[in-house]
Amino acid sequence: MYLTQTDIVNLQLNQYQNYRLSEIISSLIREDLESEEKRDMKDGTNYYKSKHDILDVDFRKYFIDGVSYVNQNKSNNRIVNAYHKYLVDQKVGYIAGHPIMFKGEDEQFVKLINENFTFWFNNIFKKLLTGSSNRGRDYLYVFINEKGEFDYAQIPGEQIIPIYDTQFNEKLVGVIRYYPVTYRESLNTPRITLNKVEIYDSEKVFYLVETKGGRYIPDPDIQPNPRFHIYKWNSLNQNTPEGRGWGRVPFVELKNNEEAISDLRFTKNLIDNYDYDLSSFSNNLADIAKAIWVLKGYEGTKLSEFVRNLNMYGAIKVNKDGGVEPKQNEIPKDAHDSHLDRVEDNIFVFGFGVNPKIDKAGLSPSGIALEYMYAGLDIKSNIMITQATLAIHEFMSFLADYFLITKRVQYNADKIDPVFKKHLIINESEKIKSVKDSLGVISRRTAISNHPWVKNVDDELDAFEKEGEGIIDFDKIPAEEGDE
- What one-character-per-residue DSSP string does 435-447 give? HHHHBTTB-HHHH
Looking at residue 234, its pLDDT comes to 43
Does residue 271 sit in the same domain as residue 405?
Answer: no
Q: Which domain holds residue 437?
A: 426-469
325 lies in the same domain as 414:
no
Give domain status of residue 70, yes or no.
no
Domain membership flag for residue 72? no
Write down the pLDDT at residue 241: 63
Q: Which residue has the higher pLDDT, 443 or 473?
A: 443
Other CB atoms within 10 A of residue 95 CB: 24
Rounded Cα gap, residues 363 and 365, in angstroms: 6
Closest CA to 24 of 216, 220, 225: 216
Q: Tell me, what's the pLDDT at 181?
A: 92
pLDDT of residue 360: 58
* CA gap 372, 301 in Å, rounded: 67
- Confidence class for position 472, pLDDT limits 50, 70, 90: very low
Inter-residue contact 164 to 4 (CB < 8 Å): yes
Range among 120-124, 323-327, 396-400 with highest mean pLDDT value: 396-400
The amino acid sitting at 390 is: L
> Is residue 68 assigned to a domain?
no
Question: Are residues 86 and 11 part of one domain?
Answer: yes
d(CA 257, CA 271): 21
Query: Is residue 481 situated within a structural domain?
Result: no
Residue 239 has pLDDT above 60, yes or no: no
> Where do runs of H (alpha helix) occur along 331-424?
333-350, 358-361, 367-373, 375-407
Same domain, 319 and 204: no
Instruction: Identify whether 482 is part of a domain.
Output: no
pLDDT 10s digits, 9-23: 555 545 545 567 888
Residue-level pLDDT at 425: 62
For helices 268-287 and 83-96, the axis angle rounded to 10 degrees is 140
Does any domain span residue 474?
no
Rounded alpha-carbon distances, angstroms, from residue 345 to 81, 105, 484:
14, 45, 65
Task: State residue 318's pLDDT score.
Answer: 56
Instruction: Identify the CA nearest to 204 among candidates 27, 15, 6, 26.
Output: 15
Q: Is 182 exposed, middle or buried (0-12, 13-18, 19+ CB in 10 A)?
A: exposed
Give the residue with greater pLDDT, 464 vs 314.
464
Residue-wise pLDDT tens digits, 23-53: 888 989 999 999 999 999 999 999 999 999 9
pLDDT digits (tens, 9 = 90+) for 281-317: 998 888 776 656 565 655 555 666 656 655 555 555 5
Q: What is the pLDDT of residue 130?
A: 97
Q: Are residues 162 and 298 in the same domain?
A: no
Number of domains in the chain: 3
Q: Answer left, alpha or beta for residue 107, where phi above 0 means left and psi between -120 and 50 means alpha.
A: alpha
Same domain? For 13 and 160 the reply is: yes
Determine the Cα–Cα distance for residues 38 and 472; give it in Å rounded to an integer.
68
Q: What percentage of the chain exceeds 70 in pLDDT?
A: 77
* 453-463 pLDDT per residue, tens: 777 777 777 78
pLDDT value, residue 19: 60
Q: Tell me the backbone φ, ψ of residue 221, rounded to 5 degrees.
A: -80, -10
The alpha carbon dihedral of 395, 399, 400, 404 has a sign of: positive
Q: What's the distance, CA 39 to chain centroid?
A: 15
First to last CA, the chain: 86
Tens of pLDDT, residues 178-232: 999 988 777 778 888 999 999 999 999 999 999 988 899 999 988 888 899 998 6
Q: 121, 96 in Cβ contact below 8 A?
A: no
H/E segment holding residue 162: strand 160-164
Asked if residue 87 and residue 176 are part of one domain, the reply reads yes
Distance (Å, whole) CA 356 – CA 328 = 37
Within this chain, do residues 384 and 288 fall inside the same structural domain, yes or no?
Answer: no
How far apart are alpha carbons 215 and 199 in whole angstroms? 16
Whether 198 and 331 share a structural domain: no
- Does one domain contain both 272 and 174? no
In this prediction, residue 388 carries a pLDDT of 95
**pLDDT range class, residue 158, cuts 50, 70, 90:** very high
Please give the mean pLDDT across all residues of the chain.
Answer: 82
Which is more confidently placed, 452 or 375?
375
- pLDDT value of position 184: 78
Cα 258 to Cα 31, 128, 255, distances in angstroms:
23, 16, 7
Strand partners, 253: 139
- Residue 480 predicted with pLDDT over 80: no
Q: At what angle do helices 36-48 and 118-135 cross, to 10 degrees?
A: 120
Based on the fold, state whether residues 134 and 201 are members of the same structural domain.
yes
Nearest in space to 268 (alpha carbons), one of 36, 47, 39: 47
Q: Which of 392, 418, 444 is the C-terminal boundary of a domain?
A: 418
Over residues 387-402, mean pLDDT: 94
More confident residue, 48 or 332: 48
Is the pLDDT at 474 greater than 50, yes or no?
Answer: no
pLDDT above 90 (res 398): yes
pLDDT above 80 for 470: no
* pLDDT of res. 324: 60
Q: Is the pLDDT of residue 147 over 70?
A: yes
Q: Which of 275, 274, 268, 276 is nearest to 344 (CA)?
A: 274
Query: Does residue 374 lie in a domain region?
Result: no
